[in-house]
RNA sequence: GCGCCCGUAGCUCAGCUGGAUAGAGCAGUAGACUACGAAUCUAAAGGUCGGGGGUUCAAAUCCCUCCGGGCGCGCCA
């Protein structure tokens, strides 16, 4: 709100200044990126500053300070600003009147100024995240994606977008068969000796999944009557039986149980999805149609691109070396990609094309995929596929990928090895059990998802009170404690604050807190466009810091009868801070306790 | 070899759509509880922004190059 005032004032004066200079351009033409606004960290540079004169200098062929002087001449007499100064190389520094800030606070308290402003152009967004393969429990890396995706979804929704969240289950392909074989072997070894020769023969040279969860699944199958029919049990027991009699059952049961565990972990972590989308469905044949969804989409792309062989910008489907390829190099990929292998089986990429075609067809304007950073090589081919599909479906779709960098688990400063095969990895559940949901989520969200993160288990466990999340939560608890105290002291606070006397709020830091609160909507909007969540957690930490500082140095609940108005005004400010923290923490999926 | 991410205080990291004196937290140092919760606060200290070159009125930020670390480069998923 305050930043908007400044922006508008500058635009107006710039427009007048351009007229004075007889320039034909409009404000938007001469400043295509708009009027830049900054919030100076240091004192003495105003409440809000703008380097707009520096940005305009070369276009207007005037020294920055001359531009600033010209702009300053055209500012009307706006009572909301105490001073507008030219500083340094040509910055315009704006300082607000305390009365304007008090007005803003009243607006917040009564909800006249909303804490969250809707974006100008709301969009239909599909946010896909986690999508961990159902071959094992979620580990700390998935947790980071879950915390990030969930917070992003909450924020995007909050600023007015229509957002749906989705988890893509890779429940098809070799890996699922390997999973079935792994649990089957574990199951056999519960019943009898299994020789290494038998293991090698059964696994066909591949590495099995090992973790304790495999044994648990085997045990469950063994101990739950009725899961296997007597025939299946008999066939599965021997190494010479017909695999098709029992292996699909092991695969199915394993996947079901693992997926159930994943869902539980997610719920416990506070993450829910609007939809779980199964890859297998894309491979299923439907009666009356021409094969599976995957086959059908490949066919459509093939038809579409048949005539355009070799033409730039349109990847066509072609046959080579007995396989079917998509010419993704036409759109910048390193090499073309196989859709249908020589052995007649479809690739993962082919299924992903069908999946994203399905998303596009559902009418979303923006697809956001949250992937692990090890998938970055996959982006160009997926972009090529999406462009082709957009062409095919006549429906332009924006595709954005957020790559989540690695989480390095650290214990006592030493890295913990996280090999999925060996089962040494630490699961999300273990971490959450030790550290708690709030702290885990906050730790994930205080760093850019684009940088790898060191997650020190011992630090998070033993010294968990040093965790920044408690700093923010404690600030909220302090506000709530103040309000409780006020209640027992029978301080009456207005239902509507409009017209209340906030004049006693004269301190610089009080104004600073109001100004900082006022930035809330802008920070959220920045998250929406950059897809970076961590600046928002930093914002909340800073809000908490300002309040702790204020609280320590200023008495809020006064004992002097003459200070009643001061007390009320300060309580009002505290209430507003509490609301900012509560709203903000909720957007990160973190609780805001009333006491700790 | 090619591609992506990263290199900023002792440690973990912000800042990177170029702009004023490069910022936090932790650790360490020195302090603050007879009033609303000390899970807090205050102060000082800590920097060749990996090295070098370039573009610019202005570079931690953009470009080139080198060095170091991580990840990825299958008719795997």
Q: Where are the domains of chain A?
A: 2-96, 468-587
Question: Cβ(A147)–Cβ(A109) under 8 Å?
Answer: no
Q: Containing H/E element for A168? A: strand A162-169
Average model confidence (pLDDT) for chain A? 90
The CATH fold assigned to A2-96 is Gyrase A; domain 2 (3.30.1360)
Cβ neighbourhood burial of A47 (10 Å; 0-12, 13-18, 19+): buried
Sign of CA dihedral A475, A480, A484, A486: positive
Flag the least confident range among A279-283, A312-316, A321-325, A510-514: A312-316
Residue with tokens 């009418």: A363
- Is the CB atom of residue A591 positioned under 7 angstroms from any atom of strand B? no
Q: What are the pLDDT digits (tens) for A111-153? A: 998 888 899 999 999 999 999 999 999 988 899 999 999 999 9
Neighbours of A529 (CB within 10 A): 9
Residue A425: what pLDDT?
Answer: 59
Q: To which H or E segment does residue A164 belong?
A: strand A162-169
Query: Is strand B less than 7 A from the beta carbon of A320?
Result: yes
A288: Cβ contacts below 8 Å, ≥ 6 apart: none
| Cβ neighbours for A227, distance < 8 A, ≥ 6 positions apart | A220, A221, A253
Is strand B less than 7 A from the beta carbon of A89?
Answer: yes
Q: Judge whether residue A530 contacts strand B, using its CB and a 7 Å cut-off.
A: no
Q: What is the DSSP string of A465-518?
A: GGSHHHHHHHHHHHHHHHHHHHHHTT----SS-TT---TT---HHHHHHHHHHT
pLDDT band of A510, cuts 50, 70, 90: very high
- DSSP codes joined into one string, A189-222: HHHS---HHHHHHHHTTPPPP-SHHHHHHHHHHH
- In A204-297, the DSSP E strands lie at 275-278
Say if CB A584 and CB A543 are below 8 A apart: yes
CB atoms within 10 A of CB A20: 11
Return the CATH class of domain A468-587: mainly alpha
Q: What DSSP designation does A38 have?
A: B
pLDDT at A484: 95
Cβ of residue A111 lies below 7 Å from strand B: no
Q: Do A140 and A416 contact (CB within 8 A), yes or no?
A: no
Is the CB of residue A485 inside 7 Å of nucleic acid strand B?
yes
Q: Decide if pLDDT at A421 tops 50.
A: no
* pLDDT at residue A368 greater than cutoff 50: yes
Do A565 and A504 contact (CB within 8 A), yes or no? yes
Helix (H, G, I), strand (E, B) or coil at A2: helix
Kindly tell me if the per-residue pLDDT of A285 is higher than 90.
Answer: no
Residues of A (240-279) placing their beta carbon closer than 7 angstroms to any atom of strand B are none
Give the CA-to-C1' distance from A553 to B37 in angstroms. 14
Measured from the Cβ of residue A195, the count of other Cβ atoms closer than 10 Å reads 9
Given a contact cutoff of 8 angstroms between Cβ atoms, the answer to whether A56 and A36 are in contact is no
Measured CA to C1', the nucleotide nearest A51 is B19
CA of A271 to C1' of B68 (A): 38
Helix, strand, coil percentages in chain A from 3-state DSSP, rounded to 5:
55, 10, 35
Phi first, then psi: give them for residue A29, nearest 5 degrees: -75, -40
Q: How many CB atoms lie within 10 A of CB A21?
A: 13
Residue A574 DSSP code: H
Query: pLDDT confidence of A28, banded at 50, 70, 90?
Result: confident
Whether any strand B atom is under 7 angstroms from the Cβ of A161: the reply reads: no
CB contact at 8 A, A377 and A359: no
Q: Report how far apart, in Å, the C-alpha atoms of A180 and of each of A137, A209, A290, A412, A471 are.
A: 15, 9, 30, 37, 46
Task: Identify nearest nucleotide to residue A596 by CA to C1′ distance.
Answer: B39
A93: CB within 7 A of chain B nucleic strand: yes
**Distance CA A33 to C1' B47 in A:** 33
Question: Where does residue A95 rank: exposed (0-12), middle (13-18), buried (19+ CB within 10 A)?
Answer: middle
Beta carbons within 10 angstroms of residue A499's beta carbon: 9
**Tell me, what's the pLDDT at A424?**
53
Report the distance separating Cα A14 and Cα A247, nearest Å: 74
Q: Which nucleotides of B are covered by protein (CB under 7 A)?
A: 2-6, 12-15, 17, 19-21, 23-27, 35-42, 57-58, 70-77
Residue pair A136/A211 in contact (Cβ under 8 Å)? The answer is: yes
> Could you check: is the Cβ of residue A376 within 7 Å of any atom of nucleic acid strand B?
yes
Question: Which of A308-312, A475-479, A521-525, A526-530 is predicted least confidently?
Answer: A308-312
**Opening angle at CA A311, ends A306 and A316, nearest 5:** 40
Residues forming a β-bridge with A84: A94
CA A63/CA A469 separation, integer angstroms:
47
pLDDT band at A256 (very low <50, low <70, confident <90, very high): very high
Residue A108, pLDDT > 90, answer yes
| Per-residue pLDDT at A288 | 67
Asked if residues A371 and A402 have their Cβ atoms less than 8 Å apart, the reply is yes
Closest CA relative to residue A407, chosen from A450, A465, A460, A466: A450
A345 touches strand B (CB under 7 A): yes
Strand B proximity: list residues 171-230 of A with CB under 7 Å: 172-175
Q: How many CB atoms lie within 10 A of CB A451?
A: 11
Burial state string for A560-595 with b = 16 or more CB within 10 A and e = fewer than 16: eeeeeebbbbbbbbbbbbbbbbbbbbebbbbbbeee
Residues A483-503 pLDDT 10s: 999 999 888 899 899 989 999
- CA A554 to C1' B30, in angstroms, rounded, equals 24
pLDDT at site A116 = 85
The number of residues making up chain A comes to: 596
pLDDT score, position A419: 52
HSE (side-chain half, CA atoms, 13 Å) at A485: 15
* 8 Å CB contact between A20 and A70: yes
The half-sphere exposure of A504 on its side-chain side, counting CA atoms within 13 A, is: 18
Q: Which of residues 36-55 of A touch strand B (CB under 7 A)?
A: 38, 40-42, 44-46, 49, 51, 54-55
ipTM: 0.94
Phi, psi of A539, rounded to the nearest 5 degrees: -60, -45
pLDDT of residue A542: 94
Buried b (16+ CB within 10 A) or exposed e, A208-247: bbbbebbbebbeebbeeeeebeeebbebbeeeeeebeebb
* Residue range A563-586, pLDDT digits in tens: 889 999 999 999 999 999 999 999
pTM of the model: 0.94
Burial, A473: exposed, middle or buried (Cβ in 10 Å; 0-12, 13-18, 19+)? buried
pLDDT of A199-214, one tens digit each? 988 988 788 888 889 9
Tell me the three state secondary structure of residue A408: strand
């Amino acid at each position: 709100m305050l930043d908007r005032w400044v922006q508008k004032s500058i635009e107006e004066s710039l427009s007048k200044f351009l007229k004075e200079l007889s320039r034909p351009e409009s404000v938007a033409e001469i400043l295509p990126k708009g009027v830049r606004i900054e919030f100076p960290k240091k004192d003495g540079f105003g409440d809000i500053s703008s380097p707009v004169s520096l940005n305009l200098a070369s276009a207007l062929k005037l020294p920055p300070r001359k531009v600033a002087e010209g702009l300053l001449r055209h500012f009307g007499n706006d009572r909301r600003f105490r001073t507008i100064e030219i500083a340094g190389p040509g910055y315009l520094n704006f300082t607000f009147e305390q009365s304007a800030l008090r007005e803003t606070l009243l607006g917040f308290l009564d909800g006249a100024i909303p804490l969250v402003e809707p974006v100008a152009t709301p969009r239909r967004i599909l946010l896909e995240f986690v999508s961990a393969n159902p071959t094992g429990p979620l580990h700390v890396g998935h947790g980071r994606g879950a915390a990030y995706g969930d917070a992003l979804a909450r924020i995007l929704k909050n600023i007015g977008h229509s957002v749906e969240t989705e988890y893509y289950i890779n429940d098809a392909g070799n890996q699922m068969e390997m999973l079935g074989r792994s649990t089957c072997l574990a199951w056999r070894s519960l019943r009898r000796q299994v020789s290494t020769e038998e293991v090698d023969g059964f696994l066909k040279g591949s590495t099995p999944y090992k973790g304790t969860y495999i044994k648990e699944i085997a045990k469950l199958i063994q101990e739950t009557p009725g899961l296997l029919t007597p025939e299946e049990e008999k066939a599965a027991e021997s190494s010479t039986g017909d695999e098709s009699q029992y292996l699909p059952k092991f695969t199915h049961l394993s996947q079901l149980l693992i997926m159930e565990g994943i869902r539980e972990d997610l719920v416990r972590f506070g993450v829910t999805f609007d939809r779980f989308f199964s890859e297998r469905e894309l491979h299923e044949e439907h009666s009356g149609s021409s094969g599976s969804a995957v086959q059908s989409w490949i066919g459509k792309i093939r038809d579409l691109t048949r005539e355009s062989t070799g033409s730039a910008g349109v990847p066509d489907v072609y046959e080579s070396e007995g396989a079917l390829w998509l010419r993704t190099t036409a759109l910048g990929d390193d090499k073309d990609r196989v859709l249908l292998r020589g052995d007649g089986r479809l690739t993962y990429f082919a299924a992903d094309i069908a999946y994203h075609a399905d998303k596009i067809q559902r009418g979303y304007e923006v697809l956001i995929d949250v992937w692990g950073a090890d998938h970055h090589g996959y982006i160009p081919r997926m972009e090529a596929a999406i462009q082709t599909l957009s062409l095919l479906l006549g429906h332009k779709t924006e595709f954005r990928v957020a790559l989540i960098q690695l989480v390095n688990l650290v214990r006592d400063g030493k890295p913990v090895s996280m090999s999925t095969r060996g089962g040494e990895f630490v699961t999300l559940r273990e971490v959450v059990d030790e550290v708690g949901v709030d702290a885990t989520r906050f730790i994930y969200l205080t760093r850019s998802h684009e940088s790898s993160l060191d997650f020190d288990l011992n630090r998070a466990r033993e010294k968990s009170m040093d965790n920044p999340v408690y700093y923010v939560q404690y600030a909220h608890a302090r506000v709530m404690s103040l309000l409780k105290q006020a209640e027992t002291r029978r301080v009456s606070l207005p239902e509507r604050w409009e017209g209340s006397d906030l004049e006693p709020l004269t301190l610089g830091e009080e104004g600073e807190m109001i100004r900082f609160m006022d930035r809330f909507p802008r920070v959220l909007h920045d998250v929406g466009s950059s897809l970076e969540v961590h600046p928002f957690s930093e914002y909340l930490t800073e809000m908490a810091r300002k309040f702790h500082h204020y609280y320590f140095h200023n008495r809020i609940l006064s004992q002097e009868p003459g200070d009643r108005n001061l007390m009320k005004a300060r309580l009002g400010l505290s209430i507003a801070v509490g609301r900012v923290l509560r709203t903000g923490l909720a957007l990160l999926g973190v609780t805001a306790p009333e006491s700790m």
